Amino acid sequence: MPTTPAAAVAAWSRRSSGSREAFPRPLRRGAASARARPLSRLGVWSVKRLVLLGGGHAHVHVLDAMRRARWTGVEAVLVTPHERQAYSGMLPGVVAGHYRASQAVIPLSPLASAADVRFVRASGVGIDASARQLRLSDGRTMTYDLLSVDIGSAPALGAIPGADAHGLYVRPIEDFLARLERLPGRAGADALRAVVIGGGAAGFELALAMDQRLKGRGAPSPVTWVTGGRAPLAGYPARVIGHALGVLRHRGVEVRGSACVGVDARAVRLADGGVLGCDLALLATGAAAPAWLAGSGLTLDRRGFIATGPTLQSVSHPEVFAAGDVASRQDVDHPRSGVYAVRAGPPLARNLRRWLAGQPLQVHRPQARTLNLLSCGDHTAIASWGSWSARGRWVWRWKDRIDRAFIARFGGGVHGG
């Protein structure tokens, strides 16, 4: 006679006594009527644990998919250190003062609750892939049947002498937003010299957003963009770069092409010998992989990111999926950006569900060409699609509508701004 769900839990509890498992596996509501499959010849009901590590853009789509169509036979847990997810696409608007920080975030706990997913506020600090265990920042250990990692990237700490002590890193975005609220706004009589370090799109947007934020102060507050020894916006079409440089000149933002070699309390030092007076150094430099992944047993790429294949699975452990900045596709090459993280969400949700159901997984093919919208800080923006590019207030309004709709879809609220 098949074992009942209640008896299955009791049997699991007896087997697990004395283990380090800090999170017993209760049956989900409705699991008794789920299409559960026998775990063994004894007929023990199978309830698999899905752990979503991180509250990134892709996992927001997974939670939304679970909310819209309940997944049976699974106990799901969301592990993240933050109650909310800051949407990176709206960060320049927050810095510039067009939105409040609360308007550019998605509340994760209510979204998880609506999806019948348990919310655990903690960070992952270690994975033992062979044992299918996740170690948390609070000292607990959680086992999983299926793990999905969407924790983003980390700042490249230690890369620039003095930056860790005297600079403000853009990532993690939640930490940046918390410190941003303590930064001077437009009101103030004292000059404030800001230097933005990092030659990519994030650095460009942040430099112009800071320029907008500091306008109207009682004393001049210059902004300098240090692009790191390479051309600004490397990899973007020439027309986009032309638009961008024109905006920077018009706004009076100085561009320095040298690399930053040091940051102290009052200055930024450059490789060409230049010294920039600086009261606020903002770092939008390259992403680094979380250091603790090195001991996970997962196959990583040469920079330490989780190596994944066309189905978004780890190339070494098929029960581990990864998306967003923490993942490194081995079959295709694309930039680490919020656009690709967002686009990976729906196929990640489909493949997680198919894996749990024992169905064949689907290949995710990232778009070769994506729409890019760069904020210029002043209610204008630059759009690009392949070689096409345009700039104007209408582009900002277009971007604003897209961003508002994304936030609203997942329960965030953007009103005014």
**pLDDT for the residue numbered 334:** 65
Mean pLDDT, rounded, for 102-111: 94
Mean pLDDT, rounded, for 250-273: 96
pLDDT at residue 271 is higher than 60:
yes
Q: Where are the domains of the chain?
A: 5-81+122-153+289-357, 155-286
Mean pLDDT, rounded, for 265-280: 95
Least confident of 6-10, 24-28, 165-169, 375-379: 6-10
Least confident of 21-30, 44-53, 188-197: 21-30
pLDDT tens string 244-257: 999 999 999 999 99
SS (H, E, C) 286-319: CEECCHHHHHCCCCECCCCCEEECCCCEECCCCC
pLDDT at residue 353 is higher than 80:
yes
Mean pLDDT, rounded, for 231-246: 92
Query: Per-residue DSSP letters for 332-386?
Result: S-----HHHHHHHHHHHHHHHHHHHHTPPP------SS--EEEE-SSS-EEEEET
Q: How many CB atoms lie within 10 A of CB 12?
A: 16
pLDDT at residue 2 is higher than 60:
no
Using pLDDT thresholds of 50, 70 and 90, give the confidence band for residue 189: low
The answer as to CATH 3.30.379.10 being correct for domain 5-81+122-153+289-357 is: no
**pLDDT for the residue numbered 286:** 80
pLDDT at residue 37 is higher than 50:
no
B/e letters for 141-169, b = 16+ CB within 10 Å, e = fewer, are bbbbbbbbbbbbbbbbeeebebbeebbeb
Say which residue, 220 or 386, is predicted with more confidence: 386
What does pTM read for this prediction? 0.85
The CA-CA-CA angle for residues 11, 12, 15, to 5°, reads 90
Mean pLDDT, rounded, for 132-137: 98
94 burial class (0-12, 13-18, 19+ CB within 10 angstroms)?
buried
Q: What is the mean pLDDT of the chain?
A: 86
Give residue 383's region: left, alpha or beta (phi > 0; psi -120 to 50).
beta
Mean pLDDT, rounded, for 210-225: 85
Task: Assign domain 155-286 one CATH number from 1.10.600.10, 3.30.479.30, 3.50.50.60, 3.40.50.300.
Answer: 3.50.50.60
- Nearest by Cα to 350 from 360, 340, 342, 341: 360
pLDDT at residue 33 is higher than 60:
no
Mean pLDDT, rounded, for 92-99: 94
Mean pLDDT, rounded, for 38-64: 78
215 burial class (0-12, 13-18, 19+ CB within 10 angstroms)?
middle
Mean pLDDT, rounded, for 30-40: 35
Using pLDDT thresholds of 50, 70 and 90, give the confidence band for residue 341: confident
Using pLDDT thresholds of 50, 70 and 90, give the confidence band for residue 312: very high
Using pLDDT thresholds of 50, 70 and 90, give the confidence band for residue 284: very high
**pLDDT for the residue numbered 125:** 97
d(CA 333, CA 107): 31
Question: Do 155-286 and 5-81+122-153+289-357 have the same topology in CATH?
Answer: yes
Using pLDDT thresholds of 50, 70 and 90, give the confidence band for residue 333: confident
- Percent of the chain past pLDDT 70, that is, above it, reads 84
By DSSP bridging, strand 267-270 and strand 275-277 are: antiparallel
Residues 6+ apart with CB under 8 A from 344: 58, 312, 323, 324, 327, 364, 366
